A and B are shown apart, each in its own frame.
Chain A
């Protein structure tokens, strides 16, 4: 494998939100490191409060990280000003979870999709033509260009959100739970659409989701987060076939399979307790209070994200990882 500069590198990324009044500050993301190559999809999975959305928002710089760096195409963008960010916004786009609340109800589809183009200095006439092309690209009927968001179903509205993200020809799209608000029968349409767009346009995705089955379908590599940290990252085939972190194992075994016979035959690892609050994470390995394998060292030492073996693509942050 030849070494190529990744499109996006995130190193030791940290976000600390100040606590309200007397409460302690919340470290939502704590030293996250990964990279995304051009044209690749990295899945970021974890349960609510694990910091996956905050990570995504720092990458598109809707949030400014408190520590660490985001390097896009060789340039550190972690502390750029809004003015300096503006040209970069063509390259870095985002798709949100709830299609209806992320589209302005008082604007037509034409206006919504052309906004990014106009902001970047395009002319109104060109923009309208481009909107029609984009609508066609994402499977909408271009004649609907002057309709309002409420006239579209959830799946169609998400297509509008995707068209808006693609308007400026980005190379990296951060998709934050893009299908979780959609009905099952429509989810598959959007997953297929995102797949096709990636192939046609050479997009890289950071795909943030809690649904492990969806992530498995769309991603090349997957990173599992727990309480602000990555606990395991690696090629999807390896992570899903032989999860090394006990949390990944538990997470995978908790997903209900749509197959009654397999469900009955299955051995499940049920985690006890709830996710601890990120405002007061447990000492040592944050997962130790729920971990079936926890030992003394887990209560005191925070495990670093390490390669499973020298040169291995998979990294895991556990004192006692499962053998690969």
Chain B
């Protein structure tokens, strides 16, 4: 199967912030691809570098140094002058944020704000752009769009505001949508509506989507491929079915094990990951997860030393095909029409990956 050209291709992305306590490498050597019609889920906890990654793709870092390669539709974005980036932002790639209220301008009607995008990027007239804004509002399911276009952001509810943000992001028909925790501030019933909306426009337009979230449930619902981040680095990358059925990295495994689940019946204590996420100020020379790693804790001293001193690389590990054959849950989910993995073999950054499956 020849995979189509990716819409976005990121290689060896590194973002470093200067701070009074020394440079902080918030993202370190990250690489991924996103294709048309596909959703890449980026999961991680606070400080794992997932939002920094999305801002780097949009070229929105001002105080940080960004290195590596970000290529959008074959065009290299790193090092591009601001003027050029301005032509791409909102046109070829667009972003929606966690808090729609603080991302909308309180002094302008939502119609004006959406129309502005169209006028800037297409040079369209005031009237035509307004018309396009009303259509965009209708498309994202806002009732009575002509009237609502004349209203201000504070007159909308949280869910409706996020629809406005989506309308604004899509009005210039971008190829790539970055959604940074788009439903975290919303109630669960409204979250379901917004996720459905994003899925619908993605299908209609063949949009490539990057969904950044801390919620593994959201990832399971929308993503085709998943990138798990920890301490600024990718620790695991796999198609969604493989990742959830046979997570290879002990951190991914730990996250899945520690979740309380609706579909769980037992009342045993949750299998919590001890400790807390690492500080990026003084990164350990080895694996960032080593201090919390259960596999490390059980390992002989020599192996332990390796995890503590040697940085594990994101590699396609051996032994996955056998696991695929032996995991009834995973093969069942593929038979159900799970998304084909176009992102290549699952990869993990661990010295001792293991496909043990999640606890039942």
Interface residues of A (CB under 8 A from B): 47-48, 153-156, 183-189, 191-192, 195-196, 210, 212-214, 216-217, 240, 250-252, 254-265, 268, 270-272, 274-275
Please name all residues of chain B whose beta carbon is closer than 8 Å to the beta carbon of A270 when the two chains form the complex: 189, 192-193, 196
Query: What are the residues of chain B within 8 A of A195 when measuring CB–CB?
Result: 269
Establish whether residues A261 and B269, one from each chain, have CB atoms under 8 Å apart when the complex forms: no
Q: In the bound complex, how far is the Cα of B270 from the Cα of A212, in angstroms? A: 15
In the docked arrangement, what's the CA distance between A212 and B187, Å? 12
Which listed residue (A47, A156, A259, A263) contacts B188, Cβ 8 A? A47
Cross-chain contact A191 with B45 (CB below 8 angstroms): no
Q: Which of A48, A184, A257, A265 contacts B258 (CB 8 A)?
A: A184
- 0/1 per residue, B320-360, Cβ < 8 Å to A? 00000000010011001110000000000000000000000
Q: Which residues of chain A are within 8 angstroms of B285 by Cβ–Cβ distance? A: none
Determine if B74 is an interface residue (Cβ-Cβ < 8 Å). no
Which of chain B's residues 293-328 have a Cβ closer than 8 Å to chain A?
none
**Which residues of chain B have a CB within 8 Å of any CB of chain A?**
45-46, 157-160, 187-193, 195-196, 214-221, 223, 240-241, 244-245, 254-256, 258-264, 267, 269-274, 276-277, 292, 329, 332-333, 336-338
A25 CB to closest chain B CB (Å) equals 21
Contacts of A156 in B (CB 8 A): 276
Chain B residues near A252: list those with CB within 8 A. Answer: 262
Q: What A residues does B245 contact at CB under 8 A?
A: 261
A265 touches B336 (CB 8 A): yes
How far, in angstroms, from A212 to B217 measured CA to CA in the complex?
A: 12
| Contact for A257 among B196, B214, B262, B273, CB less than 8 A | B262
Residues A210 and B262 in contact in the complex (CB < 8 Å), given A183-B277, A254-B192: no
Known A-B contacts A212-B188, A260-B338, A265-B336; A274 and B217 likewise in contact (beta carbons under 8 Å): no
Q: How far is the CA of A309 from the CA of B245 in the complex (A)?
A: 42
Question: Can you identify 27 A-B contacts, CB atoms within 8 angstroms?
Answer: A47-B188, A184-B259, A185-B272, A185-B276, A186-B272, A188-B259, A188-B273, A191-B272, A213-B259, A213-B260, A217-B264, A217-B270, A250-B189, A251-B188, A254-B189, A256-B221, A258-B217, A258-B256, A258-B261, A260-B240, A260-B333, A261-B245, A261-B332, A261-B333, A264-B337, A274-B158, A274-B160
Q: SS class of chain A's interface: helix, strand, loop or mixed? A: helix
Chain A min CB distance to B322 (Å):
20
Which residue from B157, B244, B332, B338 sits with its C-beta under 8 Å from A275?
Answer: B157
Report yes or no: A188 in contact with B191, Cβ–Cβ below 8 A: no
From A192, A263, A272, B270 is in contact (CB under 8 Å) with: A192
Task: Name the B residues within 8 Å of A256 (CB-CB).
Answer: 191, 195, 215, 217-218, 220-221
Which residues of the partner chain A approach B332 to less than 8 Å between Cβ atoms? 261
Which residues from chain A contact B45 at a C-beta distance below 8 Å? 183-185
6 extra interface residue pairs, beta carbon distance < 8 Å, beyond A212-B262, A213-B262: A254-B192, A256-B195, A260-B220, A261-B244, A261-B333, A275-B157
**3 smallest beta-carbon distances between A and B, as pairs:** A256-B217, A261-B333, A188-B272
Q: Which residues of A contact B259 (CB under 8 A)?
A: 184, 188, 213, 258
User: A191 with B46: in contact, given A217-B270, A260-B338, A274-B190 (CB under 8 Å)?
Assistant: no
- Given the contacts A184-B214, A185-B255, A270-B193, A214 and B336 also touching, CB distance less than 8 Å: no
Complex: how many Å from CA A9 to CA B121? 61
Determine whether the beta carbon of A184 is less than 8 Å from that of B216.
yes
Across the interface, which residues of B come within 8 angstroms of A264, CB to CB?
Answer: 333, 336-338
Other-chain residue from B196, B214, B220, B267 in contact with A263 (beta carbon distance below 8 A):
B220
| Residues in A whose Cβ lies below 8 Å from that of B216 | 184, 258
In the complex the two chains form, is B217's CB within 8 Å of A257's CB? yes
Report which residue of A240, A257, A272 has the largest number of chain B beta carbons within 10 angstroms of its beta carbon: A257
Closest residue of B by beta carbon distance from A261:
B333
The one of B159, B219, B256, B262 that contacts A216, using a Cβ cutoff of 8 Å: B262
When chains A and B are docked, how far (Å) is the Cα of A311 from the Cα of B238? 51
- Closest residue of chain A to B46 (Cβ to Cβ) is A183
- Inside 8 A of B272's CB, which chain A residues have their CB? 185-186, 188-189, 191-192
